[in-house]
Structures are given as structure tokens and as C-alpha cells.
Amino acid sequence: MATESGDALRRIFGNTGFLIAGRATNAICSFLYIAWAVRALGLSRFGVLMLVTTFGTAISTATHLQSWQPLLHYGTDPFTNGRRAQFSRVLAFCVRADYLSGGVGWLVGTLGVALFGTAMGWPPADQGAAMVYMTTIAFMNFSWSAGVFRLCNTFWLNMLVDLSGTLVRTVGSGLGFMYHMGLDYYLLVWSMTQLVMFTTSTVLGLLQLRQAGGIRFNPFARLAEGDAPGIWRFTLSTSGNHVLSSVFNQFGTLLVGGLLGPADAAVYRVSRQIGEGIAKPAQLMVPALYPEFIRLRDKQDWYGIKRVTVQLFLTIGGFSIALMGVAMLMGNILLTWMLHVHWHGGRHLIMLMLGSAVLGLGIVPLEPLLTVIGQVSRVLRARIIVTVTYLPLVYGMTRLWRLEGAAAAGVVAGLIMFGICLRPVLAWFGQMAPGRAPLSPATVETPGGEGGTGT
């Protein structure tokens, strides 16, 4: 059992390494393409770019069904045990969920721009370009292929998908800087980034299915009775949890833009991006955790799950201490370099942003664990409580203390979320894996000495 949990940890850290490599490349390139965009557009127009693209991402997140989670939850067993027809039907459900949510997001985003665009801080003259950009939402959802990568343990393909988008955005932003292009051009670059990532992910996902053999890709195949009982409820619960978690990343920026204007929104968005970028390596463990927790759950290795969770908490704790040191030394320097202006109190702002991100790291093992053991409703309930608390809190604190208040509201919300999720996990461990794991008979030494019979 200890070997199982040790193998799981090795796979988690190994697969997280592939994800980190892709996101690290993106983070390094983001310092370039954001700096180029700011210099080409100016801080205020760059703030409009951030508000429009953030709104599109927020709507995509709000309407996106997280199809990779039901694909892993219901598809791992038939995929592993060779029931290809059943797996193909589960896969078809997940593909339809992606395309359906993409279409709904496009419609909601277009309607949102028409009704609330000027209220979110961008000028009326940019409404047309923003509305055209909302078509990008239809290509933001390619979750099913990410689920296929995780099932096949080919996490490195996620790195290729990220790299394809990063390359388009970096090259496009560099050309825009060289030729002094405007907002419409940069919206096109951001849109093409999503389209390229969608195409790359789809092609690689189809190639993985072909390599696996025996899987028919038919997006119109219907689920048979007994294929995936409760799949809609599970999908809506996990997706609802993801939607509410996006409130911190997207709607906070939109609220700051509406209250303080595009320039402050740009500073808030970039400082948050720096804080989350520093903490991103640990956050990328989440996709790697799900398949390993599912494997241990199917074997009913409860102590193995406990060992993996405890080890991850220890790793994240040490990592968080190092992050704080990096933020103190480099945070304000990065903010000044990326925005091309010195922002008073930048270090304090980034430390608050990183504090919120570090609290989010504490949720990294808890959320997938609660989902895998059938308590996803607890995570959803926690998100609802935190969202109801966070929105009025960030509004009031932003009006009182501007950007520092908005950042501090995220820290308070992170503390609440961590406390609510930790309680049911401790209760579950107390019931299913109390104390230390019992030694297996093969490892117990008998009175006769090592290898003896004791007689």
C-alpha cells in the first residue's frame, strides 16, 4: 500500500513537471507580450484590452462544463479494463458538453457586452470590437482532450497546447509593438491564441484516441443505461464549483475596472497575474491529482490517499515559504517592468495577491479529494458561501482602500474557503483512515528475527 502511494506521488510530481514546463514558458513569455502590449497601447488602452479579454474568459468559465472531470470519474474504469464502447459513449457526452457550453458562452458574452459593456470600464467606441471578440468564447472549451491526455498519462501534450498559444500571442504582440498597432489588432491576437490552442488540443486528442485503439469517436453516441449514473449531477456540481472559483480571478478585475477605471484594473490584473504566476507550479498539481486519487479510491487504499495528501501539504508548505521570499525580492521589480510605470505600494499589493494565491494552494489537495470521495457538494457549498461573502467584501474594501483593499478581500475569502474544505477532509480521515496505517503482514518482524519463524 505504501508502494502504491509512493508511485502515485512520483506520477503526480512527474506529470506536474510537464505542466509546469508549459506554464513556465507561458509565464516567461507573458513578461514580454504584456510589456510589448503596454508600450504599444499605453496603460489605459491596455487596461481596456485586459477588461475585454477578462470578460470573455469570465463568461467562458461561467458557462463551461468541466467535461474532463466526468471523463476521468466515469471513464477511467472502462478505459483501463478495455470496455471501449462504454468509454466511447462517455467521451461523446463530454465532447457534446464542451461544444454546447462554448455556444452558450458565445451568446451570453455577446449579450453581456451589449447590456453591460460601458458599465465595466471600457469606452462605448470599443463596444463593436469587444462584441466581435466574444466569438472567441466558442473556441475556449477543449476540456475533453485534456481529460484524454490525463487518462493516457500523456501530460506533456498539455505543454504543447500551451506552447502553441504562447507562441502566437508572443509573436503577435511583438509585431504589434514594432508596427504600433492598436486595440483591435491586439484583440485579434488574443483571439487567434485561443483558436490555435483549440485546434492543437483537438488534433492531439484525436491522435491519442487513435493510438489507444478500439475507440470510435462519435460525438453523437448516446449514453446507455448504467454507463455513467449521475453524470449530469456530477458534471454540474464540479462545473458550478469551477464557475464560483473564477469569481476571484475574473469578476474581481471587472469590479475594480468599474470602480477605479481601466488603468487601475490593469495594475490589479497584472499584479494578480504575478502573484498567481509565482504560485502556479503548485496549483498545477490539481490536474495530476485527480487520476491518482481515482486509482487509489478504486483500490480502497484510504491510507494511501491520506499519505499522499499529507505529503502534498508538507511540500506546499515549504514551497509557500520560498514563494514569499521571491515576492519580497522580485514582485515590485516585475510589476514596474511589465507596466513600464512605477506603482507606489506595488510590493505590498503583490504580497497580498501572493497571500491569496498561497491560501489557494492549501485547497490544492482538498478539492480533488472531496470530489473523488463523493463529497463534491461540500466543495460547491463552500464556494457559494465564499462567493456570497467575497463580492460585497471586495466592493466595500475597494471603495475604502482601492487596490490594496481589493487584494486584501481575496486573502479573507481564501481563509474562509480553506477552513470550510479542511473540516470534512479531517472528518473523513478520522472515519476511513484513523491514526497510522497498519503494517502489512509481510513487513512485520517476528520474534525470531528478520526472516525467521519465531519458533
Q: Are 359 and 317 in contact (CB under 8 A)?
A: no
φ, ψ (nearest 5 deg) of residue 449: 100, 175
Q: Are 219 and 95 in contact (CB under 8 A)?
A: yes
What was the pLDDT predicted at 419?
87
* Calpha distance 357→345 (Å, rounded): 19
* Calpha distance 124→114 (Å, rounded): 10
**80-102: string of b/e by CB count within 10 Å (b at 16+)?**
eeebbebbbbbbbbbbbbbbebb
Q: Are 139 and 102 in contact (CB under 8 A)?
A: yes
Give how far Cα 129 sits from Cα of 52, 110, 134, 414, Å: 9, 11, 9, 35
What was the pLDDT predicted at 201?
93
The backbone region for 230, taken as left when phi is positive above 0, alpha when psi lies in -120 to 50, beta otherwise, is: left
Sign of the alpha-carbon dihedral angle for 46, 51, 52, 57: positive
DSSP annotation string for 262-274: HHHHHHHHHHHHH
Query: Rounded to the nearest 10 degrees, how much is the dihedral formed by the CA atoms of 235, 208, 146, 110?
Result: -80
What was the pLDDT predicted at 171?
94
What was the pLDDT predicted at 264?
76
* Calpha distance 261→141 (Å, rounded): 30
What was the pLDDT predicted at 442?
44
Question: What do you get for the CA distance between the two ends of the chain, in Å?
Answer: 28
H runs (alpha helix) in 247-301: 252-260, 262-283, 285-298
φ, ψ (nearest 5 deg) of residue 352: -65, -40
What was the pLDDT predicted at 30?
79
What was the pLDDT predicted at 445?
45
φ, ψ (nearest 5 deg) of residue 444: -85, 125
Residues 6+ apart with CB under 8 A from 364: 282, 283, 285, 286, 289, 312, 316
What was the pLDDT predicted at 2?
55
What was the pLDDT predicted at 455?
30
Grouped pLDDT means (10 residues each) for the chain, 455 residues: 63 68 73 87 86 87 86 88 89 92 92 79 81 92 88 82 90 92 93 95 91 80 86 84 68 75 75 67 68 81 86 78 71 64 65 77 81 82 84 86 83 87 88 75 43 36
Residues 6+ apart with CB under 8 A from 260: 268, 398, 402, 403
* Calpha distance 444→452 (Å, rounded): 11
What was the pLDDT predicted at 194?
94
